[in-house]
Amino acid sequence: MKINYLSQEGFDKLNEELRDLKTRGRREIAAKIDEARSHGDLSENAEYEAAKEEQAYMEKRISELENALANARVLDEKNVDLSKVHILSTVTVFNHRSGKEVKYTLVSASEADFNVGKISIDSPIGAALMGKKIGDSVDVTVPAGTLKLDVKNIERQS
């Protein structure tokens, strides 16, 4: 099984989501199913079918979270080696295509959120940056073509 490296913040967030789904989520789904059952014939009850689908989706997410947490290893950001790009590094890169500097924090797939600059170490950019040093250049193949990135700075996650 693949180890899921997480920051403490990421671990806590996944744990909270799991706890919420197991308590409030299951309670709400059970109430929806009971309400739909009270409407009679289940063979033609769209509300019942929708509630059962929602329940299946939620149980799948619970299973995914349990698996991610069971295989989690919490990393201490203070121990991040700043000489090379590693998980939990915040990397400033110069994108030659856009002509701009961009900051990315490399995290596990379960913590990735591109809108806040957190990219997965499994993504094309994240994987290409792993192990690089300040001054290194890397060509990354992405769906939109090839990007040339220069590593300008490496710091701890902020």
Asked whether residue 88 falls in the same domain as residue 127, the answer is: yes
Is 61:69 a contact under the CB 8 Å cutoff? Answer: no
pLDDT of residue 157: 63
158 pLDDT above the threshold of 60? no
Co-location of 38 and 96 in the same domain = no
94 and 62 in a common domain: no
Pairwise CA distance, residues 110 & 10, whole Å? 8
pLDDT of 15-73, one tens digit each? Answer: 999 999 999 999 999 998 888 888 777 677 788 888 899 999 999 999 999 988 998 88
Strand partners, 147: 140
pLDDT digit string (tens) for 116-155?
A: 989 999 999 999 999 999 999 999 998 888 999 999 999 8
Distance CA 99, CA 47 (A): 52
Asked if residue 60 and residue 107 are part of one domain, the reply reads no
Rounded to two decimals, the pTM is 0.67
Which CATH number is 96's domain given?
3.10.50.30
